Structure formats: structure tokens, C-alpha cells
Chain A
């Protein structure tokens, strides 16, 4: 595996002199800054001071985040989830899996078409960039198609040639296009067309016998003997069809007969009058010299491979491909110029799935391809039957590691985080842990977003994560100066310490200003009030205020007594609470019984040292005694 190190220069004088350090900002971003390790314990001015400090944000350029490719990301996500649903429910899912594989390919195709449309309109650097994407996704499509034929599709009898021909035709459409224009144009005398013979031979090589025959019929010499014989031969050429009922042995016999027949015609020099016809027939019988000659018509070795197999081994089995592919590469003598795409295709033909995955990993589309392909191969059962030497190779882990990489990458994007999550959901081993780590790292821009993130956490049964996100949102609200709003989020977070902290803020605010704010919220706490003792106190105290203001003194008084008797009064609030008793004690209508008054007096004595009661204690005592007298007389009368 080649390792390449890329160096980025940070254009900053301080960084140059002092050296740099970096820390992660978000999932895909690094902050780089000038940094020098300080060893000495003594605090002294830096040698670099005074100096401007800058932080440089470094971000990987991810092509999948380009708007034009985001369609691919989202659409493929739908298919990915369908694959997961399918394999989770259906027991026999091979045919469906093939459909999914085709769906993926059609998504890539749609993306390529989009890119091609766009490239027409673009210019300059952007055009080059788009061309680059087209190259990447063209390779993706080509590899995917071959992998689908070899690994996903269950080919009856393992006869892969028809599929290989389809594949080659799809990726090298030049001859087909040329043939179509020629056939639809003026009839007769086609040989004057400069590409005529190339198209005839190209069509033959791609196994389009009928097209080739149609083209030959339009030659002005079509009625001469050699042309007629060639037409006859081509018409008689046996083509293996797995549904025809012919066995492979039977077909091979027919095939050998045909080859002997054609060879005898060549030997009888029936075609010698026309060079190209002779060449075609020689190809048909696998004449090495002829094949050497037509290599120029093949752009790639695999195009030659398919053609060669068509004329020499039409019933080739898929496991023989690797060997034959190597021969083709040698024939075209491109062994030393072999490119990345060639390597992947060769590995696929050699049925080396791991090698394919390894190579595909090096493609520069940020893991989209390797993640989806590995997942598909995993579900097709192609990863479990590998003879891997390393002992701790586990197909689940391989698949999961790609999914996690890809999911994490998407989580780093402002908009695609939900898509990223759905990949992590399908990692049985570590997915949930990664989700737990990443969800709280998503920036909370608006409540709409926060609510969606919280919901995702709840859907994944991560209540702690959801609560911690609520808490963060609560802190944000608190810092914005909105206590009630913060309390609402704190209640969602179910963190009683945080709730108490906020309730304290309310009470302190009240003790300073005399105003209880956020009445609408405090009035409707409902069962949430039980979140913390401090909140219970706040809620009850608010209720007391409400009753008092509504002049319901009796009820207010009994609530006040039950508050005094409870153990939940914050220390700083005793002063206020005891002061509140005075007007009620002095109330025209008697609202405290003698027992109540004793409670008040006991509290007063216990707290007499309180600073804020200092100048009020005498007054309070007087009021309490007067009420006690009133109450005792009243109660005596009742008895």
C-alpha cells in the first residue's frame, strides 16, 4: 500500500517561528495555531511576544459535499436503507439484492448524467473539477457493474459471457452509436464511410452479429460471393443461450463443427479477395495473427477479453476469468502501464474480493463507493466465504468499519448529519457508541434543529444523550438571559441539579428585586415540579403569592405554614419567608391557629441570628404574640 504524506504550509510568521499545534474543532475541522511547549514552571513573557495570534481552520475538501453530488449521497442512502430492511426481513433475498445493486448503478448513472449536463455549461477550473468527478464516477460505475455480474447476480450455469458482453457494450458504446447512424442513413455504398470496417469489426467484437451482418449487407459488393458466404457463416454461428435447452457439451460440439467449417472456407481462400472479410473470418476461428491485428480496435484489455472469449470460449465459467484476463493483458502488452481501474477489474475477475475492496478504498470519492459496495457484497454473502489467512478477519467488522467511517464523515456536515446517522444505525457493534459521541457534538443553531437532534437520540433509545443535549440548550438559554426558557429545557433534561440551580436563580432574583418573573411558566409546572426540591419550593412559593394576591389569606396562610414545616427552604430565603408572615399575622381576619403561630415562633427563635432578620425580629415577635393571644382566645371560645 502506498502511503503519501501531504504537507500544508500555514502562512503565518508566528507559526513558522514557534511551531504549530492543532486541535479538533468539529468532526471534519482542525484548528491550527502557533504553539510552543513550555517546560519551565516560572511565568514569564514569551520570547515571541508581542505578536498577533491567529487560528487557522483546516478542513478536508470532501467532494461528496458538492451540491451536485449530494443528490447521490441522499438517493443512495434510501437504497442503502432498503437493502438493510430487505436483509433484515426476507430470508431469501438474492434476486431482490440484484435489484438493489441495479438501483445503486442507476443512481450513479443519474449522477453521471447530471455531471455531463453541468460540464457543458461550466468553464474554467470548475469544468476541470467536473471532468474529474466524471472520471471517478465512470470508474465507479464500471467496477460496480462487473462486481454485480460476478458477485451479486446468480448466473445460471455460471456462464458469464453474455453478461460480460453487456458490460462491455454498455461502457464502450462507440461502435453501437456509429452503427446506428450508418444504418439509419443513406443505404448502399457504406464502405465509403471512413469508419465502416472499424464499425463492422467493433460490432462483431462486442458480439453484435446481427448488426455486423446488416452493415455488411449495405456494402456495395454485398451481392458478391465472398460477402454471401460470410453472411451465411455468421448466420450459422452458434450462440450459447442458457435457456435454449442445449447442454454445454452439445453446444461445444456445434461450435467446433462451425469453427472447422469456417476454417476450411478460409483455407479454400474463399475470402481472399477482400482483406477485411478474410480478417473477420480469421477472428472467428481464433487466428492469433488476426487477433493481434485488431487489438487497435479495443480501448481496454477487458474489451479485448470479452471479444476474444466470444469467439474462442463462449462457455467460459466465471472462475476461469482471472487467468484469461491476465493473458489478455499480456497480449496487449500493457502490463507496465496498468492503471488503477485495470487493477480493480483484474482483482474482481480473479475473485479476490478483498483486493477489490482494498483498491476501491483508494478511490477519491470519500468512501461512498467502498461503503456501499462492501455492504452489498456482505449481504450477498461474498465476504463470509473468503479464504483469508489472517485469523481474526471478520466480515461484519470490515463492513462496519467502512460504514462508521462514512457515517462519521457525513455527521460532520451541517446538513447531511441525519443521513450519516442512518449509516451508524446499521453498525451493530460500535454504531450506537459512535452515535452517542457524535450527537452531542452537533452544533445547536436553532431550537428546530435541537428538537430534531433530541428526537433522533430518543429514537435510538439514548435518553442520557438526549438529556445532555437538552441541558446544553438550557445553558444557552440561561446565558441569553432567559431563565424561564432555560428552566423549560432543564426540565426536559431531567437533571435535578440543573433545575435546582435555575430555581435558585429565580428565588435570588426575587429576593433582590421583589418580582417573580415567568409567571406563565411557574403556573403550569404540573408534575414536572417534582424534578427537584428547590423547584417544589419555588412552585409552592409562587402559589402562595398567587393566593395572597387573590386575597385568599386563609389558604395562603396554611400553605405558608406547610412551607415553614417542610425542610426544603433555602437558607437565604428564611428571612423573606418569615417577613411574609407579618402581614398575615396582622391580618384583620385571623388566619393562623395557635399551633400555626407556635410553628412560626419556633422558626423565628431558631433563625434569630439571621442578618436580614435583625431589624425585623422584634416586629415579627410582636406580631406573632398578638396573633397567638387572638388565636388562644378564639380557640378557647370554641371549646
Chain B
């Protein structure tokens, strides 16, 4: 493997890190969000590489003070992104880049305090999912909020959608969402239905292990992956039934994030609380035969383990890695040792 690793210490623990999408070129801007700091922030970095000079560092372009821990960041498009905060709020942000001026981060819409406990105390917003302009946020208060990036008002509120805190959420269809809670229950809600109750409830596993992240396949939305606090990855094909197709014992610690490669959905990236970043890739030999017949390597039961190669992208860190993101052949991750790492030259094509 010929990839190189570039670490930068940033004096704040990074909870989320995301590439700014750039459909025309290679992205070199990315965003980080901190947590557990006295004053948390969102930072826009530029990492412009240079063929001749290996000693380049990510350059801080601009920063924005964020109220509370940054619990999630997602881009809607190249300029707009959404963040959520441990102080119960969701924000729509814009990177405004006029020609010749350094880009700036602006707050466009704030949905302040939309997550609250029954005693009026602020509840952390734990995650949100986006689908076009729709945003669905979930929180420790067990409430689901439906928002739209064009509109300041809350479209719909599912009060007490869950008895526990909801840890993660993802869109299944434009009208259906899947949530995962502290007790390891996964619930599907129809957001058009009049009732505040889930249409389906199923368990992640029998042991009440909480999922920490949910991810759907980029092209086949019925394929769902959940990473849990014990380090397993569970895969469902929601067309069939509520039983998992595959269960992979993956990391030693909790799985903080799962990401499919946006352009190559058979490549997967995971990071863990035990300080690992892994790249999952179908074996080259297996793909030639299986690639044509089996539509999707992740749904291949039983033999799935023989069909996958797992690469460690970085020597094990001593602290949790909270977030990972991938763009073309570049992976970035943000960690609790107050550093972020850029790993270049990931082998996507073999």
C-alpha cells in the first residue's frame, strides 16, 4: 500500500469531519466540528496538495463558533450544510465564496431548542438525516423533528416517538425514516402517516446493544448497515424482512461511523472507538465472478467474510476515532486525541 498519512493537531476533539462535495474537481476543502470544548467550533480547512512539496499542512480558512457540541454535520450540496448541536438545535449553514474573497461560513437558518425534555430542559440533538432539502432530526428526548432547508418552521414533530434517546436516523425513502435507540430498537416511521407511532419495530440484536450509526447503501436504499457500541456491523435487506442478512464482528471498540465510498458502493469505510480506521473492499478475484452474478457483495450471506479484504488505513490510535469521510482516494478522520488525519492514495480500484 502506498498511501501516506498526514496528521494535524488542532487543540480540540473532533466529533465530525466532512469533505465539501465538489462535483467538478477533487475536493480539497473539508469541515470539522468539535465537541467537549468550552467553546466548540466549526472550521473550514483547505488541504491543497502539491506534487513537489510533501510538507503541506491543512490551512484553516475560516471558523464559526458553534453553541454546544457538534453532533452531526452533513452537506446538502456544495455550499450548504446542516449541523446539529448538543444544545438541542439544528443549523443550516452556508459557505459563501465570492470570487477573490476568502470563503466564509454563515448561519442561514437556526432551529433553536427544538429538542426539549418534558421538564423544559434542553435535550441534545443526537443526529439527523437529510434527503434533498428534507431534514429529520432526532434527540435524547426521543422526539423526531421534520425540517426543510427552505423553511424556518418545523414541519412536523413526533413527540415521544421513543421512550429512550434516539442515537441515529436515516432516510429509507422520501417518506420513510429508520431510527435506532439506546436499547437497540430500530423503528421505521412513515412521516406522512397521521399517527406518531412507528410502522415497524425490530431489534438490532437480542442483547439491547445500542446502534451508534445507520447508513444506507448509496444506490440501493433497502440495504441498511448499523454499527453498534460493541463493534459489530449488522446488515439488513429491508425488502425481505426485519432479520439481518449479515452480522460482522468488526472492531474491538464501538463503531462510530460507517461510510460507503460515494462513487464505488462496494467499498466501505469504518472507524471505531478503539482507534482504528478500516477500509473494506471486495476481494479482487471474488468480484470478477461474484460481481456480475450477485448484485451486491454486502448481501452475500454466509461467505461474505471470504469475499472481503479489510485494510487498516492507519496505525491504531490510542483514542477513539469519531468520524471518517472519503472522497475519491482521500480519507479524512477526526479523533479524540485532538488531531485529524488525512490519508491519501487509498486503493479504490485495485
Q: Which residues of A contact B (CB under 8 A)?
A: 67-68, 70-71, 74-75, 77-78, 81, 414-415, 418-419, 422, 445-449, 451-452, 455, 479-485, 487-488, 491, 517-518, 520-521, 523-524, 526-528
Contact = CB atoms under 8 A, between A and B. Distances in A.
Nearest to B161: A520
B36 A415 contact: yes
Contacts of B140: 446-447, 485
A524 B164 contact: no
B112 to A, nearest CB: 17
Contacts of B347: none
B163 A74 contact: no
Nearest to A417: B36
Contact of A448 (B38, B71, B183, B338): B71
Nearest to A110: B9
B201 interface: yes
Contacts, number: 123
Contact of B118 (A75, A481, A518): A481
Contacts of B229: 451, 455
Interface string B1-43: 0000000011111010000000000000000000111100000
B203 interface: yes
Contact of B338 (A415, A487, A524): A415
B124 A414 contact: no
A134 B195 CA distance: 64
A422 to B, nearest CB: 6
A372 to B, nearest CB: 15
B141 interface: yes
18 contacts: A78-B318, A81-B318, A414-B37, A415-B37, A418-B320, A445-B36, A446-B86, A447-B126, A448-B124, A455-B273, A480-B118, A480-B123, A481-B119, A482-B142, A485-B163, A517-B163, A520-B162, A524-B185
Nearest to B337: A74
B36 A414 contact: yes
B11 A446 contact: no
B254 interface: yes
Nearest to B254: A455
B100 interface: no
Given A481-B119, A528-B208, A446 B69 contact: yes
B156 interface: no
Q: Which of A70, A446, A479, A517 has the most CB of B within 10 A?
A: A446
A518 B208 CA distance: 16
B69 A75 contact: no
Contact of B318 (A422, A491, A528): A422
Contact of A68 (B11, B13, B124, B183): B11
A71 B13 CA distance: 11
Contacts of A81: 318
A415 B126 CA distance: 19
Given A81-B318, A455-B273, A71 B9 contact: yes
A520 B201 contact: yes
Contacts of A491: 208
A523 B198 CA distance: 14
A452 B210 CA distance: 13
Nearest to B36: A415
B206 A526 contact: yes
B163 A521 contact: yes
A485 B318 contact: no
B276 interface: no
B263 to A, nearest CB: 31
Given A70-B11, A74-B9, A482-B163, 7 more contacts: A451-B210, A452-B320, A455-B253, A481-B117, A485-B140, A520-B162, A520-B163
Contact of B86 (A418, A445, A518): A445
Nearest to A524: B185
Contacts of B290: none
Q: Which of A68, A70, A483, A491 has the most CB of B within 10 A?
A: A70
A498 to B, nearest CB: 16
Contacts of B319: 418-419, 422
B224 interface: no
Nearest to B253: A455
A452 B121 CA distance: 22
Contact of B164 (A448, A449, A484, A517): A484
Interface string B120-136: 01011010000000000
Contact of A480 (B117, B185, B337): B117
Contacts of B82: none
Contacts of A422: 318-319
Contacts of A517: 163
B336 interface: yes
B320 A488 contact: no
B182 interface: yes
A74 B339 contact: yes
Given A415-B13, A484-B163, A74 B318 contact: no
Nearest to B318: A81
B267 interface: no
Contacts of A419: 319, 337
B165 interface: yes
Contact of B337 (A78, A414, A483, A520): A78
A483 B118 CA distance: 11
B8 to A, nearest CB: 9
A495 to B, nearest CB: 16
A528 B36 CA distance: 32
A447 B165 contact: yes
Contacts of A485: 140, 142, 163-165, 182
A67 B41 CA distance: 13
Contacts of B198: 520
A206 B37 CA distance: 47
B36 A449 contact: yes
A524 B254 contact: no
A524 B253 contact: no
B338 A71 contact: yes
A75 B10 CA distance: 10
A70 B338 contact: yes
Nearest to B167: A447
Interface string B48-79: 00000000000000000000010100000000
Nearest to B165: A447
A381 to B, nearest CB: 25
Interface in B164-183: 164-165, 182-183
Nearest to B12: A415
Nearest to B320: A452
Interface in B325-350: 336-339
Task: Across the A-B interface, give the 3 residue pairs with the lowest CB-CB distance, nearest first.
Answer: A484-B163, A481-B118, A480-B117
A37 to B, nearest CB: 36
A524 B142 contact: no
A447 B36 contact: no
A64 to B, nearest CB: 11
A203 to B, nearest CB: 30
A67 B11 contact: yes
B185 to A, nearest CB: 6
Contacts of B317: 78
B336 to A, nearest CB: 6
Nearest to A479: B119
A518 B10 CA distance: 43
Given A482-B141, A524-B203, A488 B185 contact: no
B183 A521 contact: yes
A317 to B, nearest CB: 40
A110 to B, nearest CB: 9
Contacts of A75: 9, 339
Given A488-B164, A520-B162, A446 B124 contact: yes
A527 B207 CA distance: 8
A414 B68 CA distance: 13
B66 to A, nearest CB: 14
A355 B348 CA distance: 57
B208 A526 contact: yes
Q: Which of A78, A419, A447 has the most CB of B within 10 A?
A: A447
A446 B320 CA distance: 17
A521 B201 CA distance: 11
Nearest to B13: A415
